[in-house]
Chain A
Amino acid sequence: MTDATFPASAAAPQSKSSLLVVDERTRKRNAAEKRFRAYGLSAIAIALIALVVLMYSIFSDGIGAFRQTYLEIPVTLDAAQLDKNGNRNPEDIKKVLTTTYGKLLDQSLQAVMTQNGITIEGIAAKDVSDLISKEASAQLRNRVLANPDLVGQTIDARVLVNGRVDGYYKGRVSMESAARDSNTSPAQLQLADALKGKGMLSTEWNWSFLTNPDASDQRPEAAGVGVAILGSLYMMLVVLFLAVPIGVAASIYLEEFAPKNRLTDIIEVNISNLAAVPSIVFGILGLAAFINFAGLPQSAPIVGGLVLTLMTLPTIIIATRAALKAVPPSIRDAALGVGASKMQSVFHHVLPLAMPGILTGTIIGLAQALGETAPLLLIGMVAFVKNFPAAPMEGLFDPASALPVQVYNWTQRADPAFMERASGAIIVLLVFLLCMNLIAIFLRRKFERRW
Chain B
Amino acid sequence: MKSAKLAVSALAMIAASATVASARDQIQVSGSSTVLPYATIVAEAFGENTDFPTPVVESGGSSAGLKKFCEGVGENTIDIANSSRPIKSSEVEACKTAGVADIMEVRIGYDGIVFASDIAGNDFQYTAADWFNALAAKVVKDGKVVDNTATKWNEIRADLPDQEILAFVPGTKHGTREVFEEKVIAAGCEESGAAEAFKAELGEEAAEEACMALRTDGKSVDIDGDYTETLARIQSAKNGIGVFGLSFYENNTDKLKVGTFAGVTPSTETIAKGEYPVSRPLFFYVKKAHIGEIQGLKEFVEFFVSDELAGPEGPLAAYGLVSDPELAATQAAVASETTLTN
Interface residue? A119 (CB, 8 A): no
The answer, among A254, A297, A306, for a CB contact under 8 Å with B22, is: A297
B76 CB to closest chain A CB (Å) equals 6
B1 CB to closest chain A CB (Å) equals 5
CB pair A382–B43 under 8 Å, yes or no, is no
Closest chain A residue, CB of each to CB of B24: A297
CB pair B228–A411 under 8 Å, yes or no, is yes
Chain A residues positioned under 8 Å from B36 (CB to CB): 384
CB pair A302–B228 under 8 Å, yes or no, is no
CB pair A414–B48 under 8 Å, yes or no, is no
Counting chain B CB atoms within 10 Å of each CB, which of A181, A217, A249, A302 scores highest? Answer: A217
Chain B residues positioned under 8 Å from A380 (CB to CB): 28, 30, 56, 58
CB pair B48–A294 under 8 Å, yes or no, is no
Given contacts A399-B56, A412-B228, A414-B228, contact A296 B28 (CB under 8 A): no
Cα distance A433–B3 in the bound complex, in angstroms: 27
Closest chain A residue, CB of each to CB of B245: A414
CB pair A295–B19 under 8 Å, yes or no, is yes
Cα distance A314–B4 in the bound complex, in angstroms: 9
Chain B residues positioned under 8 Å from A141 (CB to CB): 48-49
Q: Interface of chain A, helix or strand or loop or mixed?
A: helix
Given contacts A216-B44, A218-B41, A306-B14, contact A387 B54 (CB under 8 A): yes
Interface string of A292-321 (1 = CB under 8 A from B): 101111110010001001100110010000
Chain B residues positioned under 8 Å from A394 (CB to CB): 21
The answer, among B16, B26, B51, for a CB contact under 8 Å with A387, is: B26
Closest chain B residue, CB of each to CB of A219: B44
Interface residue? A424 (CB, 8 A): no
Interface string of A173-213 (1 = CB under 8 A from B): 10001101111000000000000000000000000000000
CB pair B254–A414 under 8 Å, yes or no, is no
Cα distance A271–B30 in the bound complex, in angstroms: 35
Interface string of B300-330 (1 = CB under 8 A from A): 0000000010000001001100000000000
Interface residue? A322 (CB, 8 A): no
Given contacts A254-B2, A290-B15, A313-B3, contact A296 B49 (CB under 8 A): no
Interface residue? B226 (CB, 8 A): yes
Given contacts A178-B254, A183-B251, A414-B252, contact A298 B26 (CB under 8 A): no
A30 CB to closest chain B CB (Å) equals 45
B203 CB to closest chain A CB (Å) equals 42
B34 CB to closest chain A CB (Å) equals 11
Cα distance A314–B2 in the bound complex, in angstroms: 11
Given contacts A99-B308, A317-B3, contact A413 B14 (CB under 8 A): no
Interface residue? B148 (CB, 8 A): no
Interface string of A4-35 (1 = CB under 8 A from B): 00000000000000000000000000000000
Chain B, range 49-91, C-beta contacts under 8 Å to A: 49, 51, 53-54, 56-60, 71, 75-76, 78
CB pair B56–A216 under 8 Å, yes or no, is no
CB pair A382–B6 under 8 Å, yes or no, is no
Chain B residues positioned under 8 Å from A97 (CB to CB): 49, 308
CB pair B3–A271 under 8 Å, yes or no, is yes
Cα distance A411–B33 in the bound complex, in angstroms: 13
CB pair B308–A386 under 8 Å, yes or no, is no
CB pair B58–A299 under 8 Å, yes or no, is yes
Chain A residues positioned under 8 Å from B7 (CB to CB): 242, 246, 309-310, 313
Sample 10 A-B pairs with CB under 8 A, ordered by A number.
Answer: A180-B254, A183-B250, A290-B11, A294-B12, A294-B15, A295-B15, A383-B57, A399-B26, A413-B37, A414-B251
Known: A97-B49, A414-B228. 19 other contacts (CB 8 A): A180-B254, A182-B253, A217-B251, A217-B319, A218-B319, A242-B7, A242-B10, A267-B3, A294-B19, A295-B76, A298-B28, A299-B58, A309-B7, A382-B59, A384-B36, A384-B57, A384-B58, A414-B248, A416-B255
Chain A residues at the B interface, C-beta cutoff of 8 Å: 94, 97-99, 134, 138, 141-142, 173, 177-178, 180-183, 215-218, 242, 246-247, 249-250, 253-254, 267, 270-271, 274, 289-292, 294-299, 302, 306, 309-310, 313-314, 317, 377, 380, 382-387, 394, 397, 399, 411-416, 419
